[in-house]
Amino acid sequence: MGIEIERKFLVRGAIPEGGCSRIVQAYLCLDPERTVRIRIDSESAFITVKGATVGASRSEFEYAIPIEDAAELLKLCVGKPIEKVRHRVAMGPHLWEIDVFGGANAGLVVAEIELASESEMFDRPGWLGE
């Protein structure tokens, strides 16, 4: 079983330099106990199933799917698709993913880091907020 351990933060100040890609995603299921997400990220697509979050962990299963299938599945999703640009910034042994949202969420900038354990320590860059 896949386990995702991540921490999320708001970003304050300038976004650091890093590779980026455009993402469109939407949800087939938004139940508090599970979510099912479709995501198109530049030239690839994925379906992701996540369980309920306990602490900073939750089960996660992600599989590549054809972009054409993802485009059709987006039409079945709940609500409008979410649009964002994801910047990837390596810092030490970690990779920060910084999402700059567009559309209805324009102005929101969130950084997340995946960890090996909930107690793993990491450096907090100066641009990291709450």
User: Catalytic site residues?
Assistant: 27
Q: 18-41: b or e for each residue (b if 16 or more CB lie within 10 Å)?
A: eebeebbbbbeeeeeeebbbbbbb
Q: How far apart are CA 23 and CA 64, in angstroms?
A: 14
Q: Compute and round to an integer the Cα radius of gyration of the chain.
A: 15
Q: How far apart are CA 62 and CA 47, in angstroms?
A: 6
